[in-house]
Amino acid sequence: MTFSVTILGSNSAIPTLTRNPSAHLLNVNERLFLIDCAEGTQLQIRKFHVHFQRIQRIFISHLHGDHFFGLIGLLNTFHLLGRKEEIHLYGPPQLKEILDLQLEVSLTTLNYPLLFYPLSFSGFNLIHEDEKVTVHSFPLLHSIPTCGFLFREKTQLRKIRKKILTDVDIPVSERHNLKLGKDFVDAQGRVFRNDELTQDPPSPRSYAYCSDTAYTESIVPFIRGCDLLYHETTFMQNMAASAREKLHSTTLDAATLAKKAGVKKLMIGHFSARYDEIEPLLEETRSVFPGTILAEDGITIAI
């Protein structure tokens, strides 16, 4: 099953010619989840050949413009394209007021249902669940209320070993029970242990998205052990004072947090526009957490 993330924007507030502000697209078995929606996101969607209409759910971490200024344009494009399928939108409570005003003054009545779910900024909250994935929100430490998100696959059913089906006569009606982990008893009363007939499913994968935030170990329990952590790295360590003042993170902040949380891989992004080259940020982060990669516009990472 596909579980991957495409970077639509990797910069902080000011875009550059090669780096757009924040937007990620998570693909879970061809269901698309958009995470943040900076100005220009819909152009990035077109540039990187994403199918607009497969976006079902949009998650906005907070109300700084570089994380949601592209939203009304994207929603209007869905409208102009004649979309009928509903969009599920998760964001700060005030976001609904903003969108309602934008739609009202532009005399726009969307062709499709827009279902809004206000985020809470305390605790670890289940905000979406389906047969494939769960999504939780959790609070970050920033100058305005901000949420991180954890996307986690559900455990899949066990896999029946193909060779077994030629050696053991297993009725079709019993195969689902095998996938659920039950033993099989044949017509002669012989018991076949489940682990003889099936194999373990792949381990569930997880992706944590931590947008604008100062260093805070309060999030460690929420992201512990995740397969891929995206953590903002606005500044290099020599600008730690600016990071603290603006409630952002440095390279070593992100690396230290990833190490404490025991994540498998760290992806850094939300780079300040002052950096023409971002390789030095990668090198500095890797000095503490070697398993670090860069968020670069247009790349897709299989998790």
Going along the chain from its start, the domains and CATH numbers come out as 3-156+202-302 (3.60.15.10), 159-199 (no CATH)
63/147 Cα distance (integer angstroms): 10
Cα–Cα distances in angstroms (integers) from residue 122 to residues 42, 139, 200, in the given order:
31, 6, 36
Enumerate the β-bridge partners of residue 11: 21, 271
The answer, yes or no, to whether residue 186 has pLDDT greater than 80, is: no
Kindly name the residue from 66, 212, 253, 297 that is annotated as catalytic: 66
pLDDT given at position 72: 98
The pLDDT tens digits of the residues spanning 259-287 come to 999 999 999 999 999 999 999 999 999 99
Per the listing, tokens 């992201």 go with: 223
The pLDDT tens digits of the residues spanning 10-47 come to 999 999 999 999 999 999 988 999 999 999 999 999 99
pLDDT given at position 214: 98
67/115 Cα distance (integer angstroms): 19
pLDDT given at position 165: 63
The pLDDT tens digits of the residues spanning 71-100 come to 999 999 999 999 999 999 999 999 999 999
Percent of the chain residues topping a pLDDT of 90: 82
Using an 8 Å Cβ cutoff, are 60 and 91 in contact?
A: yes
The answer, yes or no, to whether residue 138 has pLDDT greater than 80, is: yes
The answer, yes or no, to whether residue 181 has pLDDT greater than 90, is: no
DSSP 54: G
Q: Which amino acid is at 67?
A: H
Residue 194's pLDDT band (boundaries 50, 70, 90)? Answer: confident
The pLDDT tens digits of the residues spanning 102-131 come to 999 999 999 999 999 999 999 999 999 999
Task: Using alpha carbons, select from 25, 59, 57 the residue that is nearest to residue 42.
Answer: 25
Query: Which region among 32-41, 165-174, 213-222 has the lowest average model confidence (pLDDT)?
Result: 165-174
Q: How many of the other CB atoms lie within 10 Å of CB of 246?
A: 17
Both tokens of residue 39?
A: 């100005």
Residue 171's pLDDT band (boundaries 50, 70, 90)? Answer: confident
pLDDT given at position 168: 74
Task: Using alpha carbons, select from 193, 197, 274 the residue that is nearest to residue 233.
Answer: 274
The answer, yes or no, to whether residue 202 has pLDDT greater than 90, is: no
Spell out a b/e string for 19-53, using b for 16 or more CB atoms within 10 Å of the CB, else e: bbbbbbbbbbeeebbbbbbbbbbbebbeeeebeee
pLDDT given at position 184: 74
pLDDT given at position 110: 97
User: Please, how many CA atoms are within 13 Å of residue 32, restricted to the half-sphere of its CB?
Assistant: 17
The answer, yes or no, to whether residue 229 has pLDDT greater than 70, is: yes
258/261 Cα distance (integer angstroms): 5
Mean pLDDT of 189-207: 80
pLDDT given at position 256: 98
pLDDT given at position 166: 63
pLDDT given at position 129: 97
pLDDT given at position 59: 98
Per the listing, tokens 């007021």 go with: 97
pLDDT given at position 230: 98
Residues in the chain: 303
Active site annotation includes 253: no
